[in-house]
Amino acid sequence: MGNELRYLFIDFEFTMPEKGKRSKGFYPEIIEAGIVSVANDRICDQFSSYVSPVRFPKLTERCKAFLHISQEQVDQGISFHELVNKMKEMSGNQSCSIITWGNMDMRVLRNNCQQAGLPFPFKGKEVDFSMEYKRFFGDQNQTGLWKAVQEYGKEGTGKHHRALDDAMTTYNIFRLVEKDKRYLERPEPTTIGDRVDFSKLLNKFA
């Protein structure tokens, strides 16, 4: 099938430093991954897992409270190496569009790959869909994912800040925007007034 019809919708949750503290050498690490694989407008695979951080294995209180992720969950998660292999597998090791809400996910993934000495797992176009959404609606500011969904009069899938739920919500809003784009590109149907010259018709009956 055409590669342009293959998409991976991805969301990650990351480690966070304690508020007001700057840990030496700290960088965000992926601790939860959610991926939805879509081909020809159909979901063909989903993946969700906690991931064990390496550089700062102990989660901060702020991180646990904000993301509702426990130390036990990440301790029992897969390794970052396993996550990279899984992502390569889900992309079919071919070019596909990687869709995220915001640009942070891919920036953190790239940095985590560098730190671990692993090659970046994706080939193909990376799309920050929050920017697409902003351009489409002519908004001044970028909108949060769940606020964007509510603007559409919909609800997000599952819980906010759960990686798979956010990836699925990104996919849902992508479908809504694509549908609207197609609708706007469609030529306006002619009205009965365009098809019938009413002045001639009225003269006839005058």
Q: How far is CA 115 from CA 17, 32, 53, 200, in A?
A: 18, 18, 12, 77
- C-alpha–C-alpha distance, residues 121 and 188, integer Å: 43
Q: 99: exposed, middle or buried (C-beta count within 10 Å: 0-12, 13-18, 19+)?
A: buried
Q: Which amino acid is at 191?
A: T
Do 101 and 168 touch, CB atoms closer than 8 A?
no
Check residue 3 and report its DSSP letter.
G
Report how far apart, in Å, the C-alpha atoms of 83 and of each of 34, 78, 96, 170, 199 are.
10, 7, 18, 20, 70
List active site positions. 13, 161
Q: Is 28:14 a contact under the CB 8 Å cutoff?
A: yes
